[in-house]
Amino acid sequence: MIFAFAAVLLVLALGGAGFVFAGGARERSQKRFAAVAKPQATGRGIRGDSDNNALKRKNVQALLKQIESKTAEQKKKPTTRRRLDQAGLPDVSVRVFWIVCVAIGATVALLCFVTGQPLLVDVMAAFAAGFGLPRWILGFMKARREKKFTAEFANAIDVVVRSVRSGLPTNEALKIVARESPQPVGGEFSRLVEGMKVGVTLEQGCKRMFESMPTPEVSFFGIVMTIQQKSGGNLSEALSNLSGVLRDRKRLAGKIKAMSSEAKASAMIIGSLPPGVMAIVYFTTPDYIKLLFTERVGNLMLAACVFWMSTGIFVMRKMINFKH
């Protein structure tokens, strides 16, 4: 009995040792390995994701700096050709523009000479009419065109967003905007689409669009499209956020215009009172005010009045114009 009981205990001891060294130790080692390896793998994944995100941020920052430098270079010295394009006159050549300027200046100089004006007045009038007036007209047409473009640009971006979300490629979405949007939005997108057909990249096309329409909205659009093309991401979400920003800017501009309308009306009245009173006095009692034009002291007083009035108008303009 003693030997049999000892044999049973020996068998149980050998089985337990085999289980420990064969099965239990292996399971425990696997569990420990999994417990130790899991945090390491997670840390490696997090580290890899953080490295990718950091690299993507660096690429985006470098791209933004490059775009900003190009934008600053484009804004420094706009050429006459670019001014004509921005004013919506792409078919007018630079040569024709300067011929028209010279013709206007010569006509004004001839009229001043026929009416017996002094030589200095003839030269100044010809310079103002031949050089200043055409540039002012181009600036006025450019501002009016930019205002029309900005009013419809957010709707055009919404069309692109809906087209992309419905499954259309970006080129087809741009074609829809070019075909259905009013001018000048349709014309700018048509130029973008036509350029992409002949091999112009989307980045270059957005750059040309900004050259023709130098507004912050177009700059934002070009930045979003360029970053999405080079770094990837959800284009519809990015353009949707851009559309919301543009609508908020438009809403803020309308709010500023409403709040500053009273100040603008007051500035216009104050600025127009001295010339208006002077014109009334000149037509009612010309002898009373003629000394300002005939006497040297009167000329100096008139020049001082013009200087201070211009300074006051400039200050009032700065006070009632707000950047947004």
* Portion of the chain with pLDDT greater than 70, in percent: 75
Q: What is the DSSP string of 119-142?
A: HHHHHHHHHIIIIIHHHHHHHHHH
Same domain, residue pair 121 and 266: no
Query: What is the SS3 assignment for 323?
Result: coil
Same domain, residue pair 212 and 112: yes
| Domain C-terminal end among 259, 279, 299 | 259
Q: Is residue 57 part of a domain?
A: no
Same domain, residue pair 250 and 279: no
Summarised one tens digit per residue, pLDDT across range 44-87 is 444 555 666 666 566 556 655 665 665 555 556 678 888 888 88
Same domain, residue pair 166 and 210: yes
Q: Is residue 203 part of a domain?
A: yes
Query: What is the SS3 assignment for 290?
Result: coil
Q: For position 125, what pLDDT does the model report? A: 85
176: CB partners within 8 A, 6+ apart: 159, 160, 163, 168
Same domain, residue pair 307 and 252: no
Q: Is residue 35 part of a domain?
A: no
Same domain, residue pair 239 and 277: no
Q: Is residue 285 part of a domain?
A: yes
Q: Is residue 277 part of a domain?
A: yes
Q: Is residue 32 part of a domain?
A: no
List the domain range (segments joined by +) for residue 124: 65-259
Same domain, residue pair 98 and 228: yes
Q: pLDDT class for 213, splitting at 50, 70, 90?
A: confident
CA–CA dist 96, 56 (Å, integer): 49
Same domain, residue pair 149 and 273: no
Same domain, residue pair 158 and 270: no
Same domain, residue pair 146 and 282: no
Mean pLDDT of the chain: 77
Residues 185 and 152 sit within 8 Å (Cβ to Cβ)? yes
**Does residue 18 register a pLDDT over 60?**
no
Our CA dihedral for 133, 124, 78, 246, rounded to 10 degrees, sits at: -40
| Domain C-terminal end among 259, 277, 304 | 259
| Domain C-terminal end among 259, 284, 299 | 259
**Does residue 287 register a pLDDT over 60?**
yes
Same domain, residue pair 247 and 319: no
Q: Using a cut of 0.85, tell me whether the model's pTM lies above it.
A: no
Q: Is residue 266 part of a domain?
A: yes
Same domain, residue pair 265 and 249: no
Q: pLDDT class for 23, splitting at 50, 70, 90?
A: very low
How many domains are contained in the chain? 2
Q: Is residue 176 part of a domain?
A: yes
